[in-house]
């Protein structure tokens, strides 16, 4: 009886302890950030162009209550995730193929090496001309900003597979297709995931530029309108939300990796 009780308490404390020690550093560092921001805007800059965090929080709360912030968030997130997953879905097989076949590499690499130096923001006009001012153009820019990083990381991952790993599969009778799906792909998973994490950060950066193209809603739209109408609080709410969403998305992605891709030895 007593042993059982002791064990339960022990489990409970460690669980609470782990939760606290997991969240505590974030609480501390975010609080420090907001305190520094507060001090800077009250004592250092003293301008209506740099509102203190409280003011921004109040504004954010207002926008949340009215539902406007939610609409903008969802609009942006939808574009980001559509583009991000589409870009990854295209980039992974391209990267695997480039990495697996020297002939394909020689054919495709000039393209990727050329295009990846043209930033997505520079393609806004092209996106408008090609896709118009609808959703397609914006998603295209996110796909564009995602795909090259994913291709590059995936191809590098394939190149790093040890020769004996490939040879072992060949000696066991693997076909070309099996080499691709059962060796190259799983061996490359850590590289793919790293590429996708970098691409996700890129997507959050690019969304602001993408929403310069006329859009009814979005965090980028909020930002540009804020500039147009001098709504400084709105601008800060948008920035804060972008940062927090990006942070949360990356955390979730890492948790997902840890939960589902642990056996592939990912770097989180």
* # residues contacting another protein (CB under 8 A): 22
Give whichever of 90 and 169 is closer to another protein, judged by the CB atom.
169
Looking up tokens 């890492």, which residue turns up?
254
CA triplet 171, 176, 179: central angle to 5 degrees? 65
- Nearest-angstrom CA–CA distance, 145 and 83: 9
- Nearest-angstrom CA–CA distance, 120 and 146: 10
By the rule CB under 8 A, 268 interacts with another protein: no
- Nearest-angstrom CA–CA distance, 163 and 28: 47
By the rule CB under 8 A, 172 interacts with another protein: yes
By the rule CB under 8 A, 175 interacts with another protein: yes
Q: State the nearest-atom distance from the C-beta of 88 to another protein, in Å.
A: 19
Look at residues 181, 186, 183, 204 and name the one whose alpha carbon lies nearest to residue 253. Answer: 204
Give whichever of 187 and 213 is closer to another protein, judged by the CB atom.
187
By the rule CB under 8 A, 165 interacts with another protein: yes
By the rule CB under 8 A, 180 interacts with another protein: no
By the rule CB under 8 A, 162 interacts with another protein: yes
3-state SS, one letter per residue, for 4-27:
HHHHHHHHHHHHHHHHHHHHHHHH
Q: Which span sits near another protein by CB under 8 A: 7-15, 121-129, 150-158, 257-265?
A: 257-265
Task: Return the residue of 56, 183, 192, 213 that touches another protein, per CB under 8 A.
Answer: 183
Q: Are 197 and 253 in contact (CB under 8 A)?
A: yes
Question: What are the residues binding another protein (CB under 8 A)?
Answer: 162-165, 167-175, 178, 182-183, 186-187, 189, 263-265
């Amino acid at each position: 009886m007593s042993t059982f009780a002791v064990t339960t308490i022990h489990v409970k404390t460690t669980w609470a302890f782990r939760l606290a020690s997991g969240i505590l550093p974030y609480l501390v560092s975010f609080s420090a950030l907001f305190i520094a921001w507060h001090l800077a805007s009250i004592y250092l800059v003293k301008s209506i162009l740099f509102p203190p965090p409280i003011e921004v929080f109040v504004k954010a709360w207002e926008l949340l209550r009215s539902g406007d912030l939610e609409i903008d968030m969802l609009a942006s997130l939808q574009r980001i995730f559509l583009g991000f997953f589409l870009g990854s879905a295209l980039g992974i097989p391209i990267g695997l193929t480039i990495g697996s076949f020297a002939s394909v590499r020689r054919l495709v690499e000039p393209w990727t090496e050329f295009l990846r130096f043209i930033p997505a923001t520079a393609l806004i006009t092209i996106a408008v001309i090609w896709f118009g001012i609808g959703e397609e153009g914006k998603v295209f820019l996110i796909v564009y900003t995602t795909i090259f990083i994913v291709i590059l990381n995936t191809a590098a991952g394939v190149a790093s597979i040890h020769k004996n790993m490939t040879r072992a599969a060949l000696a066991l009778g693997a076909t070309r297709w099996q080499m691709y799906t059962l060796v190259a792909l799983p061996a490359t998973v850590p590289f793919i995931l790293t590429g996708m994490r970098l691409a996700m950060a890129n997507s959050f950066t690019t969304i602001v530029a993408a929403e310069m193209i006329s859009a009814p809603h979005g965090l980028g739209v909020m930002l540009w309108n804020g500039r147009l109408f001098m709504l400084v609080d709105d601008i800060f709410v948008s920035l804060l939300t972008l940062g927090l969403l990006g942070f949360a998305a990356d955390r979730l992605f890492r948790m997902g990796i840890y939960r589902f891709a642990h056996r592939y030895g990912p770097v989180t």
